[in-house]
């Protein structure tokens, strides 16, 4: 049988995959970034066991991309967002983060804490 | 050669298909509806020739759906949103609207006005 | 530090969330179901540590839905697919399955096996 | 009132926007490209008035992208697909095509033919 911690990590992964693939491809510009980040947070926080989602859409990187192309918006992809999440299930708290590993956005388990631990 | 009005109608259709299929499936609840609607508007307004997008996420219909199921959120689909758009291209203004035709959400051309017309 | 098993479960969750939210909302009918299932499998098997994905699009349930509505296609959602996956990471094998819990599609950890176990 | 040709062009745009935003962001590699292209065609051909969709996923461009990065798959976006469509509505046939305009994928109306024309 999977442990409570393993189940909590599975739930954390679901939230990350959901957030990424629901919103990747969305037209985004520096002006629309803030509203998109807020909607992503609120949408994924609806999912079970998802306590907190923090999305910072990287307007600096979007602006740099726009300087190098002809259109004045681009499509949301991993390098344009910093994401952190907190999932709680059956007393286990899982923290996750998305960060760039070179050119590839990786989703990372930051820590897994049973209830009452000092983490 | 397609006319300016035909090209404007094609652009209007692109925006509608984009909005629908980018955001269909997003987890949504009465509490997250407002932020999702605003993000949809701002995202699609980035696209070329798209002057105005108005999305009203139907929290009344979402609440009724939630009363009939076990989870406390659902997935965005056509019957949970009223959408109107205004597209302008080469002097032609196109207005569109999404509405239910029985159980099927249809996207409609409301009017197509050459510049300076009385519509 | 998260264990290898917890990391493998996190990866398994990512794949599930990705599959669901990339493809939810896709227009689907009994005739197009087979090609969609194959594409979903091949797409998600590209992701790291994802060894096997099995998607059975439920043409029986789609056909029943179409009998009750006016359009001759519908949108892909959880109740129209049975999904199983196998993820392997650092010697740990994780099996997952999507199934209906009443009216809500749930993603389940089936088992988590360290390398060489009898599982 | 919009003309039949304008309505057909609006329908053509909807199909293009749907295809692009449903599938943008899908994990893709040279090996999975063929199945993805077939599923995209079959999915969008379900939509009303959509007679034919042709998607060529550009494995040459995907392979070049993979040579320049660390991961062995990428995300589907406009420059990785050539798309053509034929829409028929109320006797009007519309042909569309997606092509690159420099670095930006543009969706184009190729021609609009009333029924019986020599187009």
Share the mean pLDDT of chain C: 94
Q: Which of C27, C35, C43 comes nearest D26 by C-beta?
A: C43
- Residue A58: Cβ within 10 Å count: 17
Q: Do D17 and B13 touch (CB under 8 A)?
A: yes
How far is it, in rounded angstroms, from Cα D38 to Cα D55? 7
Cβ(C2)–Cβ(A6) below 8 Å: no
Q: Quick one: which H or E segment has residue B80?
A: none
pLDDT at C119 over 50: no
What pLDDT is recorded for position C28? 98
How far is it, in rounded angstroms, from Cα C49 to Cα C42? 13
Could you report the per-residue pLDDT of D102-115, keeping only the tens digit for each?
878 899 999 999 97
D81 assigned ligand-binding residue: no
What pLDDT is recorded for position D116? 59
Burial D53-90 (b: 16+ CB within 10 A, else e): bebebbbebbeebeeeeebebbbbbbebbbbbbbbbbe
Confidence class of residue D119 from pLDDT cuts 50, 70 and 90? very low
Q: Do D20 and B16 touch (CB under 8 A)?
A: no
Could you report the per-residue pLDDT of C4-43, keeping only the tens digit for each?
999 999 999 999 999 999 999 999 999 999 999 999 999 9
**Residues of chain C with C-beta less than 8 angstroms from the C-beta of A5:** 3, 6
**Residues of chain C with C-beta less than 8 angstroms from the C-beta of D69:** none
**Residues of chain A with C-beta less than 8 angstroms from the C-beta of B44:** 27
CA atoms within 13 A on the CB side of A98: 25
Identify whether B119 is part of a domain: no
What pLDDT is recorded for position C115? 76
Q: How many domains does the structure of chain D reveal? A: 1
Identify whether A70 is part of a domain: yes
The proportion of chain D whose per-residue pLDDT surpasses 70, expressed as a percent, equals 97
Could you report the per-residue pLDDT of D93-104, keeping only the tens digit for each?
999 999 888 878
Identify whether D65 is part of a domain: yes
Give every CB contact of residue D37 below 8 A, 6+ residues apart in sequence. D55, D56, D57, D81
What pLDDT is recorded for position D103? 78
What pLDDT is recorded for position C101? 82
Output the domain CATH number for residue B85: 3.30.1300.20
Identify whether A118 is part of a domain: no
CA-based nearest distance A103→chain D, Å: 7
What pLDDT is recorded for position B51? 98
Q: Do D24 and A21 touch (CB under 8 A)?
A: no
What pLDDT is recorded for position A107? 94
Identify whether B118 is part of a domain: no
CA atoms within 13 A on the CB side of C55: 26
- Report ipTM for this prediction: 0.94
Q: Do C70 and B101 touch (CB under 8 A)?
A: yes
What pLDDT is recorded for position A119? 45
CA-based nearest distance B114→chain A, Å: 26
Identify whether C99 is part of a domain: yes
CA-based nearest distance C26→chain A, Å: 12
Identify whether A87 is part of a domain: yes
Identify whether C110 is part of a domain: no
**Residues of chain A with C-beta less than 8 angstroms from the C-beta of D102:** 70
Q: What is the DSSP pairing of strand A104-114 with strand D27-28?
A: unpaired
CA D47-D98-C44 angle, 5° bins: 65
What pLDDT is recorded for position C41? 98
How far is it, in rounded angstroms, from Cα A30 to Cα D72? 30
Name residues of chain A where pLDDT drops below 70. Answer: 116-119
Expressed as residue numbers, the domain containing B82 is 4-113
- Within A68-105, residue ranges assigned H as helices are none
Could you report the per-residue pLDDT of B22-68, keeping only the tens digit for each?
999 999 999 999 999 999 999 999 999 999 999 999 999 999 999 99
């Amino acid at each position: 049988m999977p442990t409570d911690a393993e189940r909590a990590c599975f739930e954390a992964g679901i939230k990350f995959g959901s957030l990424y693939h629901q919103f990747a491809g969305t037209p985004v510009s520096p002006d629309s970034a803030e509203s998109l980040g807020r909607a992503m947070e609120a949408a994924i926080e609806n999912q079970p066991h998802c306590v907190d989602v923090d999305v910072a859409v990287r307007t600096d990187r979007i602006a740099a991309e726009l300087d190098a192309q002809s259109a004045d918006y681009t499509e949301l992809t991993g390098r344009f967002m910093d994401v952190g999440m907190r999932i709680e299930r059956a007393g286990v708290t899982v923290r996750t983060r998305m960060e760039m590993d070179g050119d590839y956005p990786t989703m990372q388990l930051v820590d897994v804490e049973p209830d009452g631990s000092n983490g």
